[in-house]
Amino acid sequence: MAEQQIHNKTLPNGLTLIIEPMADVQSAAFSLLIPAGSNYDPPGREGAASVLADWIMRGAGPRDSMQLTNELDNLGLQRNEGVGNSHLSFTGATVADSLPAALRIYADVVQRPHLPDDQFAAARVGVEQSLRAIEDEPRQKVLVELRRRCYEAPWGTPSEGTLEGVRSLTETDVRNLYERCASPRDAILGIAGKVDVAATISLVEELFAGWKTKPAATYTTGPRGAARDHIPHESTQTQIGIAYDSVPYNDPGYYAAWAAVSVLSGGMSSRLFTEVREKRGLCYSVFASLNSLRDQGRVLCYAGTTVERAQETLDVTLQELVRLEAGIEVDELERCKARAKSSLIMQQESSSSRASSIARDWYHLGRVTTLAEVRSRIEELTVPMLIDHIHSHPARDFTILTLGQQPLEVHLGVS
């Protein structure tokens, strides 16, 4: 495989372009991150960014809503609009020859959206329906609410918004969010696939150089929720959420942190699946993941079980989290490495995955990690490295949230 080449250029208005040519694919993809995420929702109007992500796609430049949709569909573009804490994201993948046309359309979307009054209500209702779906899905709800309690606001506030916030939104609220935040300042455009680098740079300069920058937007911070909490819910099931501190993606110990969590929850041979579900039959679902913001990280755990087995499920899950300090077997680490290698192989064959990865890397690191670098960092991991990390960042100071008929007790003497 040819050496991976990464090209980057920051336009005078602040937009950073990162390009990764991929000679062995026939596709091309982009990931455009605009600093207008849910952190910037007006207080009491949580959900403004989510509504904007829908509303902004309802006409742009010379195209009305139907024309915009038809043009994107005619390109065969596989697309998605999303909302995170920091950014609105626009992603798309298509055959390489269609990428310039797609970028022209999205240049209009972010710079010249119509935001038509007659389609605001439909955009808001769509977000409200998504939020209702979360309310009806206990696992999603407990994980959303767990973030509220383990991160300070606005980082813990659901990026989707809240039902109360969305219902209170007006066209003016959402337009003001766009006018205040949608700017090339700190925006990132990642492009990967079968592309000509010089031609792509020239095109992006043509399309985005005239986008006027704005002052950096600010947001309001607030406290996190309670470290021990229970949400009453009449059900035969109990949902358990557990969080504890870890390291963010930009930390030198990130790969050791990732591997430690993978030992806990990296497949059917992982500890949580084996000990909590398979051996004891305590729950129908259990997992853990490493969640990273720009400057802080958490391990987030979930278990879904019956009311009768809920207390034992919590006890055993906490035991497994703490037991990681006692040691890790070499074969557990080797399985983690094997899973990572499979993921890397799939990434190097996917322009969409690489476009998103390079944009994410630039936001978190200010540079792009090549697949060779990631592979090297994973290969060099050893059991002592993982143990050192776990001892430096033990499973302690838990945030614990339950959703069900009754609250649970925290045993083990853990805090």
Tell me whether the CATH fold assigned to 7-208 matches the one assigned to 228-404: yes
DSSP per-residue string spanning 73-131: HHTT-EEEEEE-SS-EEEEEEEEGGGHHHHHHHHHHHHHSB---GGGHHHHHHHHHHHH
CATH superfamily for 7-208 is Metalloenzyme, LuxS/M16 peptidase-like (3.30.830.10)
Q: Which two tokens stand for residue 187?
A: 């925006």
Report the relative pairing of strands 188-193 and 16-21 from DSSP bridges: parallel
Task: Report d(CA 82, CA 49) in Å as an integer.
Answer: 9
> Side-chain half-sphere of 400: how many Cα atoms within 13 Å?
22
| Range 154-177 average pLDDT | 96
Task: Report d(CA 92, CA 95) in Å as an integer.
Answer: 10
1 band by pLDDT with thresholds 50, 70 and 90: very low
CATH superfamily for 228-404 is Metalloenzyme, LuxS/M16 peptidase-like (3.30.830.10)
Could you read off the pLDDT of 36-46 as tens digits, one per residue? 999 999 999 99
pLDDT at 2 over 60: no
Q: Which two tokens stand for residue 49?
A: 């960014």
| Range 185-190 average pLDDT | 97
Q: Rounded to the nearest 5°, which phi and psi values hold at 65?
A: -60, -45
Contact status, residue 157 vs residue 38, Cβ threshold 8 Å: yes
Could you read off the pLDDT of 326-379 as tens digits, one per residue? 999 999 999 999 988 888 777 777 999 999 999 999 999 999 999 899 999 999
DSSP per-residue string spanning 145-194: HHHHHHS-BTTTS-TT--HHHHHH--HHHHHHHHHHH-SSTT-EEEEEES
Percentage of the chain with pLDDT > 70? 98
| Range 168-197 average pLDDT | 97
Q: Where are the domains of the chain?
A: 7-208, 228-404
Mean confidence (pLDDT) of the chain? 95
CA 161 to chain centre: 15
The model's pTM is 0.94
Could you read off the pLDDT of 257-315 as tens digits, one per residue? 999 999 999 888 899 999 999 999 999 999 999 999 999 999 999 999 999 999 999 99
Could you read off the pLDDT of 230-248 as tens digits, one per residue? 999 999 999 999 999 999 9
